[in-house]
Amino acid sequence: MEAILFGGIAALANVAGGFWVTWPRPVLRRSLLSHLMALGAGFLLAAVFLKVIPASLDLNLWSGRSVAPLVLVLVGYLLIQLFEHTVAPHFHFGEETHAEVCAERHVVWTAVGGVALHAFFDGVAIGAGFHVGHQLGVLIFIAIFLHKLPEGFTVASIMLASGCSLRAARWASVGVAAATLLGLALMSAAREVVPYALPLSAGVTLYVAASDLIPEVNRENRSASSLVVFLGVALYYMTEKALEAVGR
Ligand SMILES: [Zn+2]
Ligand SMILES: [Zn+2]
C-alpha cells in the first residue's frame, strides 16, 4: 500500500516535469534542472552502493559468496546502455536542443521508449525496496523522486524538439509516469521476483546516476554544479540517520 502511495508520488513528478517545460523563466529553469540532476545523482549513488546492493546480497537466495546478485546489477546497467544509447544513439538527460537530430521519428520514439523502460525499473526499485523493508523503500523512493522531475522534463522536451505539440509532449511524460506505475504494479503482483528485481533495478539506477545524470552535471563546466553531487550524498546520509532516529 505504502509502495503504491510513494510510487504514485514519483510518477506524478514525471507529469510535473512534463508541464515544467513550459515554465516561463528559462534561466531559473536551466540552473534548477541541473542542480536537481546533481542532487539526484549523489543521493542515488549513495543509496545504490550503501543500501540497495548490500540488501540484494543479504537476500537469502544465494549461498554466502555467490556473485549472482552482482551479475544482475551488471545486467541492469547494460540493459540501459543497450536501450538508451545503442538502440537510441541520441539520448541525453536535460533539455533537448538538437532539433536537427529529432526530425526523424524513430530517433524520438526510441529515445522516449528508452526512458520509459528505465522508468519501469524506477517503479520496480521502489516496489522491491518496500518489500524488503520500510526504510529501504523510503530511501529508494527519495533517490528516485529527485530525478523524476528532470526525467519528465527530458521526454517532453525531446517531443517538442521533434516538432510535436505541447499536448503530445505532456502525454509523453504521462506515458513515462505510467511505465513507473507498471513496474510498481508488477512488484506487488509478483513478490517472488523481488530478489531478482532488486539487484537488477540497482544496476539500472546506477546507470541513471553515473552515466545519464553525472555527464550532464559535468557538461555544465562549473564546480558549483559538481559540488551539488556531494550535497546529494550528504542529504542521503542525513536522511538515513533521520529514518534511524525515528526508528522505522
Ligand atoms: Zn540532444
Ligand atoms: Zn528514472
pLDDT of 248 reads 57
pLDDT of 105 reads 81
pLDDT band at 183 (very low <50, low <70, confident <90, very high): very high
Distance in Å, CA 117 to ligand 2 centroid: 9
Distance in Å, CA 26 to ligand 2 centroid: 23
Distance in Å, CA 212 to ligand 2 centroid: 10
For the chain, what is the domain count? 1
Rg (CA), the chain: 17
Specify the range with the lowest mean pLDDT, choosing from 58-62, 68-72, 230-234: 58-62
Q: Count CB atoms within 10 A of the CB of residue 242.
A: 10
- Gap between the Cα atoms of 128 and 117, Å rounded: 16
Distance in Å, CA 100 to ligand 1 centroid: 9
Dihedral over Cα of 48, 201, 173, 106: its sign? positive
CA distances from 153 to 33, 123, 218 (A): 9, 18, 19
Per residue in 2-44, pLDDT (tens digit) is 889 999 999 999 999 998 887 777 766 778 889 999 999 999 9
CB within 8 A of 52, min separation 6: which ones? 125, 129, 136, 140, 198, 199, 201, 202, 205
Burial letters for 43-73: b for 16+ Cβ neighbours within 10 Å, e otherwise? Answer: bbbbbbeebbbebbbeeeeeeeeeeebeebb
Distance in Å, CA 102 to ligand 1 centroid: 8
Q: Count CB atoms within 10 A of the CB of residue 175.
A: 18
- Gap between the Cα atoms of 233 and 4, Å rounded: 26
Dihedral over Cα of 183, 186, 187, 192: its sign? negative
Q: Per-residue pLDDT for 126 more than 90? A: yes
User: Average pLDDT in the 201-230 region?
Assistant: 92
User: Average pLDDT in the 90-102 region?
Assistant: 86
Residue 8's domain spans which residues? 2-245
Ligand index nearest the alpha carbon of residue 162: 1
pLDDT band at 177 (very low <50, low <70, confident <90, very high): very high
* Nearest alpha carbon to residue 214 among 38, 78, 83, 91: 38
User: Average pLDDT in the 49-74 region?
Assistant: 88
Distance in Å, CA 147 to ligand 2 centroid: 6
